[in-house]
């Protein structure tokens, strides 16, 4: 499997989806500098198992833009932190995050939605969930997957859990991302 293709899947896995209708306010407008969320991640592609953690921290914010610093570690290896700029003047569009490799084509189609209370990281969250069909094309390789995302308006960074499944290069792929810790750090 090509390294860039795997990188695209990992990048998509860490994209902070905000599952709110376009007519609602951008959910990142309410974040504050220092807000953070840490997630445990487990991905399996055929016989390959990847486990890790990801922490998103709001490193800057004004009326027009919020910046998330995304630090990840997979199978014990640190991944260089990435900054993600979020335009707060527009509805949130998870396909315009800038975390996917250049030239990646991504299409996300919403399928269903509902409400559910789930327990993650030792806490219960009243969530809105949405399911999506996602198509990726990276360096000529295509992938389709189903995704379910749980979001909570009671949590500033919104995403509490994501599950994805699909097929990559003829191999079954499953990913789970689940909130383990959150809060606010004092800014320097």
pLDDT value at residue 113: 92
Stretch 26-37: mean pLDDT: 88
User: To the nearest whole percent, how much of the chain has pLDDT over 90?
Assistant: 34
Give the HSE-up count for residue 66: Cα atoms under 13 Å, Cβ half-sphere. Answer: 25
Mean pLDDT of the chain: 80
Confidence label for 94 from pLDDT (cuts 50, 70 and 90): low
Confidence label for 91 from pLDDT (cuts 50, 70 and 90): confident
The 3-state secondary structure of 21-70 reads CCCCCCHHHHCCCCEEEEEEEEEEECCEEEEEEEEEEEEEECCCEEEEEE
Q: What is the pLDDT of residues 100-136, one digit of tens each?
A: 666 777 787 889 999 999 999 889 999 999 898 888 7
* Tokens coding 10: 């990992």
CA 88 to chain centre: 17
Query: Please, are residues 92 and 28 in contact by the beta-carbon 8 Å criterion?
Result: yes
What domains, with CATH codes, occur in the chain? 3-180 (2.40.360)
Pairwise CA distance, residues 188 & 184, whole Å: 12
pLDDT value at residue 16: 46
Pairwise CA distance, residues 74 & 92, whole Å: 27
Look at residue 15 and tell me whether its pLDDT is greater than 90: no
pLDDT value at residue 187: 53
Most confident segment among 7-21, 65-79, 97-111: 65-79
């Amino acid at each position: 499997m090509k390294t860039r293709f795997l990188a695209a899947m990992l990048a998509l896995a860490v994209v902070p989806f905000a599952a709110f209708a376009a007519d609602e306010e951008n959910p990142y407008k309410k974040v504050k500098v220092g807000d953070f969320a840490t997630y445990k991640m487990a991905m399996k592609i055929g016989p390959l198992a990847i486990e890790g953690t990801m922490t998103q921290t709001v490193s800057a914010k004004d009326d027009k833009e919020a910046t998330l610093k995304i630090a990840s570690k997979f199978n014990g290896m640190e991944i260089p932190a990435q900054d993600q700029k979020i335009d707060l003047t527009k509805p949130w569009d998870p396909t315009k995050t800038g975390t996917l490799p250049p030239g990646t084509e991504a299409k996300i189609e919403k399928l269903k939605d509902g409400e559910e209370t789930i327990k993650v990281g030792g806490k219960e969250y009243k969530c809105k969930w949405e399911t999506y069909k996602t198509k990726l094309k990276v360096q000529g390789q295509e992938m389709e997957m189903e995704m379910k995302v749980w979001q909570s308006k009671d949590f500033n960074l919104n995403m509490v859990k994501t599950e994805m499944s699909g097929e990559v290069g003829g191999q079954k792929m499953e990913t789970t991302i689940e909130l383990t810790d959150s809060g606010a750090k004092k800014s320097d």
